[in-house]
Amino acid sequence: MKFPRFPHLRSAKFAPFALFSLFCLTNVTALIFNPVTPVAAATIHREQIPADIPVSGDCDLDWTIFHAAQREGVDPRLIHAVIHQESGYDAKAVSPVGARGVMQLMPATSKRFNCDDPSNRTCNVEAGTKYLAWLLKRFNGDVKLALAGYNAGEGAVDKYEGIPPYPETQNYVTKIVSNYGKTYHPILTPEEARIAFHLAD
pLDDT digits (tens, 9 = 90+) for 60-83: 999 999 999 999 999 999 999 999
Q: What is the CATH number of domain 59-196?
A: 1.10.530.10
pLDDT at 2: 56
pLDDT at 71: 95
Distance CA 100, CA 119 (A): 7
Percent of the chain's residues with pLDDT above 90:
70
Which entry of 47, 72, 86, 191 is annotated as an active-site residue?
86
Global confidence as pTM:
0.76
Instruction: Mention every residue, 6+ apart, whose C-beta is less than 8 A from residue 154.
Output: 135, 138
CA triplet 126, 130, 131: central angle to 5 degrees?
A: 120
Instruction: Sort 180 into a burial class: Cβ within 10 Å, 0-12 / 13-18 / 19+.
Output: buried
Which tens digits make up the pLDDT trace of 176-200?
999 999 999 999 888 998 898 988 7
Q: Where are the alpha helices (DSSP H) in the chain?
A: 15-33, 59-72, 76-86, 107-112, 121-138, 143-152, 154-160, 167-180, 190-196
CB 98 within 8 A of CB 68: no
pLDDT at 131: 98
192 as an active site residue: the answer is no
Under the banding of pLDDT at 50, 70 and 90, the label for residue 41 is very low
Under the banding of pLDDT at 50, 70 and 90, the label for residue 201 is low
